[in-house]
Every structure is written in C-alpha cells, then in structure tokens.
Amino acid sequence: MSENLYEKVGGEGAIAKVVDYFYNELVLKDDTVNHFFQQTDMEKQQEHQAKFISFALGGPNQYSGKSMEKAHEGMNLKPEHFQAIVNHLHDALAHFGVSEADIDTALTKVASLRDDILYK
C-alpha cells in the first residue's frame, strides 16, 4: 500500500510545524492578509488549520470547524487574498522539503474551495 500525502510529509508533527511557519513567518508578516487575523485567537486558528491541512493531505478527518463558507462569512475575501494564502502554503510546504509535485496535489485540493471562500 502506498503512502498518502499526509504520511509522506511526516504526519501530525510535520503538519504542526508547517502551520506554525505558515502563520508566524509568512501570513502574519504579509500586509496583504495579516489584517484578517488581528482579532483571531491564533492558537485556535492554528489547531483548526492543522486539522484542515491534515485532512486535505489525506490524513484523518479531524476537522470539525465551520464550513469554509461559514468560516469566511463577512470577510469579503478577494482573489488576491486567496492567492496570497495559497502562495504562503506553497512556501511553507516547500520550506519543509515537500516536493513540488506533492505541493501541487495539496494546492489543487485547496483551489477546489475557492468558490466557498471568496466574496463571502
């Protein structure tokens, strides 16, 4: 049986490191999107994001948060905001040695949520 992407990147521990880097080194330092997180409990946000990314990579479905549409309601996110987050996720995964092919697989899953996130 072949490894799924979740196992390939190192499972829960590796995902937690990616999420920490994603927010603290990329997202929160980017003026394009950091204002969306000013009133956010970042510990809780990182927990939700780790569960979501784990699921998106084929790991266990532990995500029990709001739907993507509900979670982004009232934010009126634009394509440039979505793309900034996608770029940061790419860079965070690459930073931890995930191959471009595997990053593309993960980002394709993220892209499928675009319509549930934008202009809500």
* Whole-number Å distance between alpha carbons of 103 and 92: 10
User: 89, 106 in Cβ contact below 8 A?
Assistant: yes
Task: Please report, for residues 14, 66, 82, 88, the alpha-carbon distance to residue 10 in angstroms, rounded to integers and kept in the order given.
Answer: 5, 26, 26, 19
Q: How many CB atoms lie within 10 A of CB 14?
A: 19
Cα atoms found within 13 Å of the Cα of residue 75, Cβ hemisphere only:
22
User: 19, 53 in Cβ contact below 8 A?
Assistant: yes
72 is in an annotated binding site: yes
Binding residues: 48, 72
Binding site as annotated, residues for heme: 48, 72
